[in-house]
Structure 1
Amino acid sequence: MIISHSHRFIFAAVPKTGTHSVRQALREQLGDGDIEQVGLFVDKRFPWADLAAIRHGHLSLRQVRPYLGEEAFGGYYKFAFVRNPFDRFVSYCAFMLRGGDDFQQRPREVMRHFLFGEPPEHHILFQPQASLLVDGDGKTLLVDGIGHVEGMQASYDAICARIGIPSRSLDRVNGTQRGDYRRYYDQALIDGVATRYAQDLDLFGYTFEGLG
């Protein structure tokens, strides 16, 4: 997550949505008083001990709200990027088994393991995207703007225009090598992901084929 007091924005970094590419670009525009929490590639912590102790940068907007106060939280432009949950789940599985060829050799077995066998319920990368972006009621989005990974550069350009900073081409960072997500699925896996990430599908307008 990045909080820019100089440009009055909050970037909520949803895992597996190209957040490191966006962070790299945003850092070029940050001022001395702007703050970031991240734990991969760069190690930065927020100035609040409770949040700094979490160690990673995928904090929810609900978590930072009390530390900023209602005036700043309400007045800052809050945005995030989201991704088709079916594509994101494949990316998650490939990421978790990076460094070997297990996912490439038996992708559906791996996907079934994470989805049905031993789902890592508390792993931040596995949790629904909406969990970082909704209010306490679990339904109301706290973000003012949503970018889509499927049109990432255009989304980033529009967000930069809205917050008043120059845009630039986004770099590819921390990606995984794999094919089209749809070829990894059978009907049981489609139904399983649709059930687990129903909130993401509903809030962000995705179907198995893409944006609705």
Structure 2
Amino acid sequence: MLLSHRYNFLYIHIAKTGGTSMRAALNKLRWTDPMYYLMFPCHKISQLSGHKTASKLPRHAGVIAAKEMLPAAVFDNLFKFAFVRNPWDLQVSSYHHIQKEAPHLLSGINNFSEFIHYKLDANRPAIFHFDISTKRQTDHLVDLDGKIVVDFIGRYENLSEDFIQVQQRLNLKQLTMPHKRKAPKRDADYRQYYSDETAEKVARYFAKDIRLLNYAFE
């Protein structure tokens, strides 16, 4: 999650939706935000005192964290946005990311189908690299009542175009978004990775995202 007081926005970073590249572009703005230089010492004081503040919000936290920790007047005035991704494609991206960043976690997992069965098994042990992309995307976007409280939801499939809309909404000069954490070579068509069984398994697990974000296996 990225909060800018000067530019009045809150970016909710959902894993595997181009967020690292987006943060690289948006982070350039922090050097011209006077509040940024106060946020770091405030965060350190928060850690030492044990009193949690919104001086630094967790990277992949949902919008509810900011809503609960920020004053209502501040939160309500922020332009809150996030990007989402087709759940089937997101899991392919996750698979390749783990192959690159933490291949030891795939020991005993021989292919993508085994990866999906293991990853979505409710009885497996908690593993950060697996868990970070099993959280429903819509859970990042809602308050305690289940109401979507972000102002703009962009799509990974239209990343560049939708990021331009964000910049226009914030009256920002054109920002260059680098391609960070590029995955190893993969089949461009995510459908090629799935059997009927694994496609249905993802459909059931992420049914809420598929319904509310209007995605399909196509």
Would the TM-score normalized by the shorter structure come out above 0.5? Answer: yes
Match for 2:111: what amino acid?
R
**Rg bigger for which structure?**
2
Aligned to 1:176: 183
Aligned to 1:206: 215
Q: Distance in 2 between matches of 1:110 and 1:134?
A: 29
Identical amino acids, percent of aligned pairs: 28
8 Å Cα contact 2:12/2:63 also seen in 1: yes
Give 1:163 deviation, angstroms. 1.0
Aligned to 2:171: 164
Bigger shift: 103-112 or 151-160? 103-112
8 Å Cα contact 1:201/1:207 also seen in 2: yes
Aligned to 1:111: 116
When residues 46 and 145 of structure 1 are mapped into structure 2, their CA distance, relative to the original with a 3 A threshold, is: farther
Output aligned runs, 1:141-160, within 5 Å: 141-160=148-167
Aligned to 1:20: 20
Aligned to 2:202: 193
Q: TM-score, normalised by structure 1?
A: 0.83
The answer on 1:83 being equivalent to 2:85 is yes
Aligned to 1:41: none
Give 1:130 deviation, angstroms. 1.2
Match for 2:19: what amino acid?
T
Deviations 1:94-127 (A, max 9, x none): 2223255969962222222212473858723321
Relative contact order higher in (CA < 8 Å, ≥ 6 apart)? 2
Give 1:26 deviation, angstroms. 0.7
Give 1:55 deviation, angstroms. 8.9
8 Å Cα contact 2:93/2:183 also seen in 1: yes
Deviations 1:118-152 (A, max 9, x none): 385872332111111111133x2111001111010
Structure number with higher helix proportion? 2
**Structure 1 vs Structure 2 CA RMSD:** 2.9
Please list every run of 5 or more consecutive structure 1 residues that lacks an aligned counterpart in the other structure: 38-43
When residues 14 and 28 of structure 1 are mapped into structure 2, their CA distance, relative to the original with a 3 A threshold, is: same
Output aligned runs, 1:9-158, within 5 Å: 9-30=9-30, 31-34=33-36, 47=43, 48-49=46-47, 50=52, 56-98=58-100, 100=103, 106-116=111-121, 118=124, 120=126, 123-138=131-146, 140-158=147-165
Q: Distance in 1 between matches of 2:53 and 2:99?
A: 28
Match for 1:118: what amino acid?
R
Q: Distance in 1 between matches of 2:126 and 2:196?
A: 22
Match for 1:167: what amino acid?
Q
8 Å Cα contact 2:10/2:81 also seen in 1: yes
Match for 2:5: what amino acid?
H
**How many corresponding residue pairs?**
200
